[in-house]
Amino acid sequence: MPITHKTPLLDELEKGPWPSFVKDIKRAADEGGSPTANDLLGQLELSYEQKIGHWKHGGIVGVFGYGGGVIGRYSDVPHLFPSVTHFHTLRINQPASKFYSSEQLRTLADIWDKHGSMITNMHGSTGDIIFLGCRTEALEPCFADLTANGFDLGGSGSALRTPSCCVGRARCEWSCLDTQDITYNLTMTYQDEMHRPAWPYKFKFKTSGCPNDCVAAIARADCSIIGTWRDEIRINQKEVQNYADAGLDIQKYVIDLCPAECMSYQDGEIQINNKKCTRCMHCINVMTKALRPGTDVGATILIGAKAPILEGAQMSAVVMPFLKMEKVSDDLDDNYTELKDFIDKLWEWWDENGKNRERVGELIQRLGYRAFLDAVEIDPIPQMIKEPRSNPYIFFLEQDVEGGWERDLEEYRARHQA
Ligand code: HEM
Ligand code: HEM
Ligand code: SF4
Ligand code: SF4
């Protein structure tokens, strides 16, 4: 189908070395024959001309029994572009780590050719498969085809968002966790929380197999699960020698860049003071053959990351420095129970105290880490800091301090001279 709108401004975006979304939308309109893609080009060009958006935000659309998974969108100029009168977005739960067979990809593409605009986003920032541009009456048939082929919608709105993870042990030798199993387990355990929004705002789980944190869990997930180890970095001194022979300046690029200053290189061998190591992964990333994470592996659980909306951006903060996270049985309920007990208490507290649109990290900021720890029944420990090596989160209450706040200053000064 030929494109029926002139798009001189959009055409500019096809120039240059980068892939262009304009080119993609044109392909869907032209080769694909999608009238939705065609009118999308027209409406977007108009927006660029007038420097004003033409989408109406909001509106409740969805599929029967679910409160989320579809984000409603309508054009405010439907008389000019009738094929984008409705332009809803479907979020579809991706497989953990985003592994597909080509057959599954074809199935998804066929379903979307049949019911929608042909425009996809693989993958959204949520991790989901995103189908962009669906009419209201096509939602149920599209959903029926997806579920018949083993796919389900993901989370949107004030719900649990689709959990996501890095490739983990499937492809990465650094992974300290079975990231796929954790993600699958959380997804299946919390189906109700994902499909039926009931909270102050969104909540995300993201799982990275090691501190490289390829899914950026620490910056994006309300609950970040990051693989780590508590024994020693494995060193292969023969490979250390090979790196030196190949010309790597080990002192300059590895030892001197260790943020904990806990490494040394003498007589052709690397030594590490593992007690001081912060598991930053730098040395392992540089000397992949010589250094590897330890073998006593688990996860650090952190809480409260978010992008700015009410407050500024926040990274998540440590709540459990080390938790063993191995699968112990085939029953979902038997696995990761310590994490889930914590999560249940956390959600209860957030649900009870959170204001509308307040992420759990903002609630902690407002009421204090201390109140959060009381609610989840965890004792404060030194690893709970707001920023590395600076400010502790924990402020003592009067009953925690021997003798309370009231002191006999005379008596104190007698013992401690000013
Ligand atoms: C110059 C144009 C555009 C820019 C710079 C842009 C940029 C972005 C970025 C940076 C993200 C987050 C991506 C990620 O981390 O996965 C995003 C997400 C998204 N974009 Fe765009 N975008 C553009 C055009 C469009 C258009 C034309 C559409 C709709 C037809 C669109 C719909 C979306 C949606 C629905 C998401 C969210 C996906 C999710 O739910 O995770 N964007 N965009
Ligand atoms: C076709 C047009 C658009 C599409 C498909 C789109 C899609 C989306 C999606 C999928 C989300 C995430 C919702 C969620 O996570 O629950 C979102 C959020 C958001 N969009 Fe849009 N959007 C569009 C136009 C706009 C426009 C024109 C604006 C601003 C003028 C806008 C501002 C925002 C903001 C501020 C959020 C964050 C809302 C929140 O989660 O609190 N969007 N949009
Ligand atoms: S986060 Fe670590 S384990 Fe996961 S893919 Fe990245 S490097 Fe590998
Ligand atoms: S992981 Fe980081 S902190 Fe630990 S020894 Fe290597 S460079 Fe140093």
Position in ligand 4 atom list of the atom nearest CA 254:
7
> Residue 88's closest CA among 121, 118, 116?
116
Rounded to whole angstroms, how far apart are CA atoms 169 and 180?
Answer: 8
Q: Which atom of ligand 1 is nearest to the CA of 40?
A: 30
Which atom of ligand 1 is the closest one to the Cα of 128?
Answer: 41
- Summarize pLDDT for 371-399 with one digit per residue, the tens: 999 999 998 888 887 766 666 666 677 88
Q: Rounded to the nearest whole angstrom, what is the distance from the C-alpha of residue 273 to the centroid of ligand 4?
A: 9
For residue 57, the model assigns a pLDDT of 75
**417 pLDDT more than 90:** no
Specify the pLDDT at position 385.
78
Q: Is the CB of 71 under 6 A from ligand 2?
A: yes
pLDDT given for residue 390 in this prediction: 64
To test the pocket of ligand 4, the residue of 255, 272, 291, 292 to mutate (highest count of ligand atoms within 8 Å of its CB) is 272
The predicted structure's pLDDT at residue 389:
62
pLDDT digit string (tens) for 157-176? 999 999 999 999 999 999 99
pLDDT, position 98: 95
Q: What does the pLDDT read at residue 5? A: 97
For ligand 4, residues with CB inside 6 Å are: 258-260, 262-263, 272, 277-284
Instruction: Confirm or reject: Cβ of 316 under 6 Å from ligand 2.
Output: no
For 94-105, what is each residue's pLDDT tens digit? 999 999 999 999
Nearest protein CA to atom 7 of ligand 3, as residue: 212
* Residue 177, amino acid: L
Mean pLDDT of 220-231: 97
Percent of the chain past pLDDT 70, that is, above it, reads 97
- Of residues 148 and 310, the one with the higher pLDDT is 148
The finding on whether 125 has its CB within 6 A of some atom of ligand 1 is: yes
- The model's confidence at residue 369, banded by pLDDT at 50, 70 and 90, is confident
Identify which ligand lies nearest to the alpha carbon of 216: 3
Mutate which of 97, 172, 297, 300 for ligand 3? The one with the most ligand atoms within 8 Å of its CB, which is 172
The response to whether residue 87 sits with its C-beta less than 6 Å from ligand 2 reads: yes
Mean pLDDT of all residues belonging to the chain: 94
Q: What is the pLDDT of residue 394?
A: 67
Instruction: Determine the Cα–Cα distance for residues 73 and 135; give it in Å rounded to an integer.
Output: 9
Contacts of 245 (CB under 8 A, 6+ apart): none
The answer to whether 361 and 304 have CB atoms below 8 angstroms apart is yes
**What angle (nearest 5°) sits at the alpha carbon of residue 332, between those of residues 330 and 333?**
120
Q: Which ligand is closest to the CA of 228, given by its number?
A: 3
Is residue 38 very low, low, confident or very high in pLDDT (cuts 50, 70, 90)?
very high
Q: Collapsing DSSP states into helix, strand and coil, what is residue 12?
A: helix
Contact 336, 185 (CB under 8 A): yes
Q: What is the per-residue pLDDT across 43-96, written as a single tens digit (0 to 9) for each?
A: 999 999 999 999 997 678 999 999 999 999 999 999 999 999 999 999 999 999
- Closest-CA residue, ligand 4 atom 4, reads 277
Ligand 1 centroid from CA 89, angstroms: 11
> Which tens digit of pLDDT belongs to each residue from 235-283?
999 999 999 999 999 999 999 999 999 999 999 999 999 999 999 999 9
Is the separation of the CB atoms in 214 and 208 below 8 Å? Answer: yes
pTM: 0.84
Q: How far apart are the first and last CA of the chain?
A: 87
Give nearest CA residue, ligand 4 atom 7: 258
**In terms of residues, how long is the chain?**
418
286 pLDDT exceeds 70? yes
- Atom index in ligand 1 nearest the CA of residue 123 equals 16
Query: CA-CA distances (angstroms) from residue 311 to 233, 314, 357, 362, 363?
Result: 38, 8, 11, 7, 11
Distance from Cα 358 to the centre of ligand 4, integer Å? 36
Decide if 311 contacts 188 (C-beta within 8 A).
Answer: no
Ligand 2 center to 388 CA (angstroms): 33
Whose C-alpha lies nearest to ligand 2, atom 9? 71
Asked if residue 307 has its Cβ within 6 Å of ligand 2, the reply is: no
Nearest ligand 3 atom to the CA of 169 is 3
132 lines ligand 1 (CB under 6 A): yes
DSSP 3-state assignment of 53?
coil
Q: Which of the two residues, 345 and 18, has the higher pLDDT score?
A: 345
Q: How far is the CA of 189 from the centre of ligand 2 (A)?
A: 28
Q: Which of 97, 165, 207, 213 to mutate to test the pocket of ligand 3 (most atoms within 8 A of CB)?
A: 213
* CA separation for the pair 216, 149 (Å, rounded): 30
Q: What is the pLDDT of residues 121-160, one digit of tens each?
A: 999 888 999 999 999 999 999 999 999 999 999 999 999 9
pLDDT for res 58: 67
